[in-house]
């Protein structure tokens, strides 16, 4: 009984939001704030339009490339920083400077250098994703128990082997927490980069519709982007839970046996 | 490799005295640390010790006397500020599979199952998968964990984790076992069971063991030789040969006045120096 309520809770939350939106929109009666129903009705038109789908595919391609490259660079860097004081001392100040800067704010400069094409947008996504992944990999690697590394060393593992085969798996739960944040940030920077450098993409559809006063399309696109975010996050969570099953709390039930 | 002890008149012939050079030699070792307050702290002062092959040697001392540090130096995890440690005449320059550690913190690989942990060392040394698995399964059975092969460390109690850690280290055949207060984090009952089981396993193949503990009873029960250390900075206070028959059984020993005398003597010596730390 309780589990049914728990399962229905997210559905109820979404319905509640839509109802509040609908009522709020009707009460305000503002042209630029369409009702939930009008916005939802605009979704099929977007998803059946070839041009729109190509735009969204462009966005996803850039997001995927930026995300994969960022993760591929950030995890090794973070792990090295976590295990070597010298590496950490070199990169920490750099990252501290870059961290608080909104990555989209770099977009104009990046566009000056690299143009308005894919390269600039992918780079912004890359920058947006990198920092949380580096940070979490760093923290995860720092927390690895020294004695675990000693045990590996006694088995004859070299420092490089220990980094890949002990530090990486031991820090994996923390790394994946960073990747989850990175995934959401990839989506956010994807849209903002397209807001600044319009040419193609989901953000392009959204802001073009805004310019033309097609408010139902604007809100429909917001729903689509939001839904993509939820789907990515849910899919990632399934994969994450599998990868770090060994560290999940439900495993934390020591058997009473000496 | 395995020596079956011969019982005669309820006593065991003493293990043949090693005429060869000691397997581990610690020569005038001192260790200094820089504390957080930038003060020089002398952890070990001028330690010299020889460990014979096949001997079970305990290093006994109060908390903070540097006994674990001494073990880490033999393990090659820490290099001494002064002096040298050698194994079979070769200077110890770093960790190696001929010296297998077992830590109080278990230090198991949490992402590996019990089987995966025990197979790790042999696999690292290039033993074939099938062979490594068969060997690991046999060891898991020996430490009494048959049926738990596919459990993750997080699902196990402390005593079980330490059994896995012992099996994992034994799996790569170290010549010397380095045990760093291995039962220190366990409750009294579990601790007793693991001591009994360790002794059973050890009496089968008599690997050299260096065993760090602060429990007098544990040291006397397990060891051929007890190295008593002083409070910080750690120095060797006395080395006591424990001349008790093997295989040892706890119930027999508890009734044995010689066993009792060793314990009382050692505790008195610690008392006299103010270095009192009674076994838990």
* Residue A112 tokens, joined: 């000056």
Indicate whether A10 belongs to any domain.
no
List CB contacts (< 8 A) between B193 and chain A: 258
Q: Which residue has the tokens 């250098």?
A: A113
Torsion angle defined by CA atoms of residues A46, A51, A57 and A58, in that order, rounded to the nearest 10 degrees? -130
Assess A253–B contact: CB distance below 8 Å, yes or no. yes
Averaged pLDDT of chain B: 89
Instruction: Compute the nearest-CA separation of A251 from chain B (Å).
Output: 6
Indicate whether A148 belongs to any domain.
yes
In whole angstroms, what separates CA A28 from the centre of its chain?
Answer: 34
Q: How many distinct structural domains can be found in chain A?
A: 1
List CB contacts (< 8 A) between B109 and chain A: 148, 151, 166, 169-170
Of A150, A157, A169, the CB nearest to B101: A150
A50-54, A118-122, B39-43, B189-193: segment of lowest average pLDDT: B39-43
Instruction: Compute the nearest-CA separation of B151 from chain A (Å).
Output: 9
Tell me how far apart the alpha carbons of residues A135 and A178 are, in angstroms, rounded to a whole number: 7
* Residue B47 tokens, joined: 């330690």
A116-125, B11-20, B37-46, B132-141: segment of lowest average pLDDT: B11-20
Q: How many beta carbons lie within 10 A of that of residue B231, not counting itself?
A: 19
Q: Are B59 and B229 in contact (CB under 8 A)?
A: yes
Preferred mutation among A149, A150, A154, A243 to probe B, highest tally of B CBs within 10 A = A154
Q: Mention every residue, 6+ apart, whose C-beta is less than 8 A from residue A69.
A: A122, A126
Contact at CB, A258 and B107, closer than 8 angstroms:
no
CATH of the domain at A96: 1.10.3720.10
pLDDT of res. A86: 95
* pLDDT tens figures, B57-105: 999 998 888 999 999 999 999 999 999 999 999 999 999 999 999 999 9
Of A155, A170, A246, the CB nearest to B152: A246
**Does the structure show a pLDDT above 80 at B35?**
no
* pLDDT tens figures, A100-109: 888 878 888 8
Backbone angles phi, psi at A164, to 5 degrees: -80, -40
Helices in A32-117 by DSSP H: which ranges? 36-48, 50-83, 85-98, 107-114
Average pLDDT score over residue span A244-255: 72
Indicate whether A9 belongs to any domain.
no
Instruction: Compute the nearest-CA separation of B272 from chain A (Å).
Output: 35
Q: How many beta carbons lie within 10 A of that of residue A258, not counting itself?
A: 19
Average pLDDT score over residue span B200-228: 94
What interhelical angle do A202-211 and A50-83 show, nearest 10? 130
Q: Mention every residue, 6+ apart, whose C-beta is less than 8 A from residue A13.
A: none
Of B96, B107, B157, the CB nearest to A255: B157
Which of A88-102, A104-118, B96-110 has the largest mean confidence? B96-110
Tell me how far apart the alpha carbons of residues B94 and B77 are, in angstroms, rounded to a whole number: 6
Chain B residue whose CA is closest to A144: B107
Average pLDDT score over residue span B192-214: 93
**Does the structure show a pLDDT above 80 at B152?**
yes
Contact at CB, B152 and A252, closer than 8 angstroms:
no
Q: Are A95 and A134 in contact (CB under 8 A)?
A: yes
Indicate whether A162 belongs to any domain.
yes
Tell me how far apart the alpha carbons of residues B216 and A115 are, in angstroms, rounded to a whole number: 75
**Does the structure show a pLDDT above 60 at A200?**
yes
pLDDT band at B280 (very low <50, low <70, confident <90, very high): very low
List CB contacts (< 8 A) between A174 and chain B: none
pLDDT of res. B3: 45
A24-28, A100-104, B219-223: segment of lowest average pLDDT: A100-104
Contact at CB, B107 and A255, closer than 8 angstroms:
no
pLDDT band at A254 (very low <50, low <70, confident <90, very high): low
* pLDDT tens figures, A49-59: 999 999 999 99
pLDDT of res. B21: 74
pLDDT band at A99 (very low <50, low <70, confident <90, very high): confident
Q: Are A137 and A124 in contact (CB under 8 A)?
A: no
Of B76, B168, B189, the CB nearest to A258: B189
pLDDT band at A237 (very low <50, low <70, confident <90, very high): very high
Q: How many beta carbons lie within 10 A of that of residue B16, not counting itself?
A: 8
pLDDT of res. A255: 59
What is the ipTM for the molecules in this complex? 0.88
Indicate whether A140 belongs to any domain.
yes
Of B112, B160, B168, the CB nearest to A255: B160
Assess A252–B contact: CB distance below 8 Å, yes or no. yes
Contact at CB, B124 and A153, closer than 8 angstroms:
no
**Does the structure show a pLDDT above 70 at B2?**
no
* Residue B18 tokens, joined: 């090693």
* pLDDT tens figures, B255-266: 999 999 999 999
Assess B194–A contact: CB distance below 8 Å, yes or no. yes
pLDDT of res. B71: 96
List CB contacts (< 8 A) between A170 and chain B: 109-111
Q: Which domain holds residue A201?
A: 35-244
Average pLDDT score over residue span A33-44: 92
Instruction: Compute the nearest-CA separation of A254 from chain B (Å).
Output: 5
**Does the structure show a pLDDT above 50 at B5?**
no
pLDDT of res. B11: 45
Q: Which residue has the higher pLDDT, B223 or B269?
A: B223
* Residue B220 tokens, joined: 């006397």
State the DSSP string of B32-56: EEE-TTS-EEEEEEEEEEEE-TT-E
Instruction: Compute the nearest-CA separation of A49 from chain B (Å).
Output: 47
pLDDT of res. B20: 57
Quick one: what percent of chain A has pLDDT higher than 90?
71
Indicate whether A12 belongs to any domain.
no
Contact at CB, B154 and A155, closer than 8 angstroms:
no
**Does the structure show a pLDDT above 70 at B16?**
no
pLDDT of res. B236: 93
Quick one: what percent of chain B has pLDDT higher than 70?
90
Average pLDDT score over residue span A145-166: 96
pTM of the model: 0.86
Strand locations in B181-268, DSSP E?
208-213, 225-229, 236-241
Quick one: what percent of chain A has pLDDT higher than 70?
96
**Does the structure show a pLDDT above 90 at A20?**
yes
pLDDT of res. A64: 96
**Does the structure show a pLDDT above 60 at B271?**
yes
**Does the structure show a pLDDT above 60 at A157?**
yes
A224-238, B11-25, B107-121: segment of lowest average pLDDT: B11-25
Q: Mention every residue, 6+ apart, whose C-beta is less than 8 A from residue A165.
A: A152, A157
pLDDT of res. A223: 93
Conformational region of residue B66, where left means phi above 0, alpha means psi within -120 to 50, and beta covers everything else: left
Indicate whether A198 belongs to any domain.
yes
Find residues 183-222 of chain A whose CB sits inside 8 Å of chain B.
none
pLDDT of res. B8: 41
pLDDT band at B272 (very low <50, low <70, confident <90, very high): confident
Indicate whether A74 belongs to any domain.
yes
Contact at CB, B97 and A155, closer than 8 angstroms:
yes
Contact at CB, B111 and A244, closer than 8 angstroms:
yes
pLDDT of res. A198: 79
Assess B174–A contact: CB distance below 8 Å, yes or no. yes
């Amino acid at each position: 009984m309780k589990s049914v309520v728990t399962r229905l809770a997210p559905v109820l939350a979404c319905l509640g939001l839509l109802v509040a939106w609908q009522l709020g929109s009707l009460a305000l009666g503002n042209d630029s704030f369409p009702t939930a129903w009008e916005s939802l009705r605009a979704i099929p038109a977007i998803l059946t339009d070839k041009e729109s789908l190509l735009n969204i595919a462009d966005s996803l391609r850039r997001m995927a490339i930026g995300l994969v490259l960022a993760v591929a660079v950030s995890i090794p860097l973070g792990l090295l920083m976590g295990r070597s004081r010298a590496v950490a001392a070199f990169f920490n100040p750099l990252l501290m400077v870059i961290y608080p800067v909104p990555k989209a704010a770099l977009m104009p400069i990046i566009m000056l250098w690299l143009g308005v094409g894919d390269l600039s947008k992918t780079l912004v996504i890359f920058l947006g994703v990198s920092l949380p992944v580096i940070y979490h990999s760093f923290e995860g690697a720092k927390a690895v128990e020294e004695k675990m590394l000693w045990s590996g060393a006694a088995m004859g593992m070299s420092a490089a082997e220990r980094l890949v085969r002990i530090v990486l798996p031991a820090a994996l739960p923390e790394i994946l927490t960073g990747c989850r944040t990175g995934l959401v940030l990839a989506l956010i920077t994807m849209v903002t980069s397209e807001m600044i450098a319009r040419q193609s993409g989901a953000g392009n559809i959204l802001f073009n519709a805004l310019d033309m006063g097609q408010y139902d399309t604007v809100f429909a696109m917001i729903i689509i982007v939001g839904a993509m975010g939820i789907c990515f996050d849910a899919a990632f969570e399934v994969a994450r839970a599998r990868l770090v099953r060994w560290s999940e709390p439900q495993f934390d039930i020591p058997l009473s046996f000496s | 490799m395995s020596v079956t002890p011969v019982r005669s008149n309820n006593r065991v012939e003493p293990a043949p005295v090693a005429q060869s050079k000691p397997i581990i030699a610690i020569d005038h070792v001192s260790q200094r640390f820089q504390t957080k307050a930038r003060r020089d702290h002398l952890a070990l002062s001028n330690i010299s010790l020889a460990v014979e092959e096949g001997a079970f040697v305990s290093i006994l001392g109060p908390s903070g006397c540097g006994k674990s540090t001494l073990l880490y130096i033999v393990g090659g995890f820490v290099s001494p500020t002064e002096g040298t440690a050698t194994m079979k005449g070769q200077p110890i320059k770093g960790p190696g599979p001929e010296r297998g550690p077992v830590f109080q913190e278990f230090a198991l690989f949490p992402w590996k199952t019990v089987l995966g942990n025990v197979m790790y060392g042999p696999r690292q040394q290039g033993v074939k998968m099938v062979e490594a698995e068969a060997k690991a399964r046999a060891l898991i059975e020996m430490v009494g964990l048959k049926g738990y092969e596919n459990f993750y460390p997080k699902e196990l109690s402390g005593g079980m984790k330490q059994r896995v850690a012992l099996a994992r280290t034994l799996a790569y055949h170290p010549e010397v076992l380095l045990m760093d207060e291995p039962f220190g984090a366990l409750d009294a009952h579990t601790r007793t069971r693991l001591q009994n089981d360790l002794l059973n396993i050890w009496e089968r193949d008599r690997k050299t063991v260096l065993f760090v503990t602060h429990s007098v009873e544990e040291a006397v029960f397990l060891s051929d030789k007890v190295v008593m250390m002083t409070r910080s900075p750690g120095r060797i206070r006395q080395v006591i040969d424990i001349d008790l028959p093997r295989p040892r059984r706890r119930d027999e020993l508890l009734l044995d006045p010689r066993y009792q005398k060793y314990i009382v003597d050692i505790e008195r010596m610690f008392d006299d120096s103010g270095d009192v730390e009674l076994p838990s």
